Structure 1
């Protein structure tokens, strides 16, 4: 099943304690977002990649896309103040298609097998998102005092990609914009329409590069994968 992927890439380096967009930070001499692009460039089912970027960073992003020969990048939208604005800017540009994936450009370790299951489920039911089961004990607290230990059996940590039928995510994004509703992810916009969203189990390597500690973890993942390839 073919799909188009949207990558919001107009973030900052605030939580990364960097003086530039964290996506431009390097892991073994390659920008983080290039690793992400390469996953979709290699996937034969990916038809097109669209990025939402800061206007002032577009020339640099285009330079890396050309340098690393990411031929599936079809266009750049100007990213908005919020992630939701950036995604909608891309949705307004891309031609109609069957399935749209929205993926954090700062998640460079997504597994192609997970992508395939997401796309299939979205094509069948309309909406599917990646997630992993909560491993730690979760407690609710008020003023630093525990009030409840939460049963974790039904708790998930949500990731991206999030996959949707094109018509559904367009409807959800438009409805949210018209109502002035700001969601934390695209799934929330679809949930708001009353449409069910299926969770597809992902893996714990699909981490988002957000803080300096994540860079250490990211390098360890790359080292492990390189060793596996050499065996």
Structure 2
């Protein structure tokens, strides 16, 4: 009988939310009576995931521990730690906080609409492909532009996807990729975790179906859309 694999989540809640035009970081804004961050944590808490590392803004650890983790009874949150200057710094700190994980699910705390079906798709894909990311086919035509804003290329729409989280990896793979990233800073510009694996290890990343509802709360309009999702 094979040994049970350990699944861990890193939930990122260190963003400042400047585009939200609010003094309150977007992950703490209230959505239907609860903080936006609550919903992502609840999805992982109620899933097969064994452990959650919550990465907050520096100085917000105590607030998150008391007002979110303890208040809502999240039992799987094993660490509440401060993030770094950039997103990749926060992810790396989350990776280093884990002990003994086989798979790591890296998720934006400002994406409240993950569910068990999406997480099961992530689990199935990471066990088969070792590196994968949630996404959905683009509904719009995408244009590649040059530095002056003129169209340089129009890729076929069937090959363009909007990338989401969770992005999920074998733990040794993502740990090694981030270790190599820090050896090649600052010449490497990173936008997401899949790119770290692609660039540092030349490992292909499989895209799996996320959800068009799996939006990131970034602007005031997003909060209105999120409220509508909850009341459908």
Q: 1:138 to 1:4 in 2, by over 3 A?
A: same
**Which residue, 152, 157, 166 being the options, matches 1:161?**
166
Q: 1-side partners of 2:92 and 2:80: how far apart?
A: 12
User: For residue 209 of structure 2, what is the aligned residue in structure 1?
Assistant: 201
Q: 2-side partners of 1:187 and 1:140: how far apart?
A: 20
Contact in 1 for aligned 2:107/2:167 (Cα 8 Å): yes
Q: 2-side partners of 1:186 and 1:144: how far apart?
A: 27
User: For residue 125 of structure 2, what is the aligned residue in structure 1?
Assistant: 121
Could you tell me how far 1:146 is from its partner in structure 2? 4.2
**Which residue, 76, 82, 86 being the options, matches 1:82?**
86
The 5 Å alignment of 1:127-206 reads: 127-141=131-145, 143-180=148-185, 181-192=188-199, 193-206=201-214
Contact in 2 for aligned 1:49/1:75 (Cα 8 Å): yes
**Which residue, 3, 22, 31 being the options, matches 2:7?**
3
User: For residue 222 of structure 2, what is the aligned residue in structure 1?
Assistant: 214
Could you tell me how far 1:8 is from its partner in structure 2? 1.4
Report the number of matched residues.
Answer: 223
Contact in 1 for aligned 2:64/2:80 (Cα 8 Å): no
Contact in 2 for aligned 1:9/1:52 (Cα 8 Å): yes
The 5 Å alignment of 1:33-44 reads: 33-43=37-47
TM-score where L is the length of structure 2: 0.91
Structure 1: segments with no counterpart, 5+ residues: 225-231
TM-score where L is the length of structure 1: 0.92
Q: 1:24 to 1:173 in 2, by over 3 A?
A: same
Q: 1:145 to 1:175 in 2, by over 3 A?
A: closer
Could you tell me how far 1:137 is from its partner in structure 2? 1.9
User: For residue 49 of structure 1, what is the aligned residue in structure 2?
Assistant: 52
Q: 1-side partners of 2:196 and 2:152: how far apart?
A: 30
Q: 1-side partners of 2:145 and 2:57: how far apart?
A: 38
Contact in 2 for aligned 1:114/1:200 (Cα 8 Å): no
User: For residue 25 of structure 1, what is the aligned residue in structure 2?
Assistant: 29
Runs of 4+ in 1 over 6 A off after TM superposition: none
Q: 2-side partners of 1:145 and 1:167: how far apart?
A: 42
Could you tell me how far 1:163 is from its partner in structure 2? 0.5
SS in 2 for 1:92: helix
Structure 2: segments with no counterpart, 5+ residues: none
Q: Which deviates the most, 184-193 or 108-117?
A: 108-117
Task: Report the aligned-residue RMSD.
Answer: 1.4
Contact in 2 for aligned 1:79/1:89 (Cα 8 Å): yes
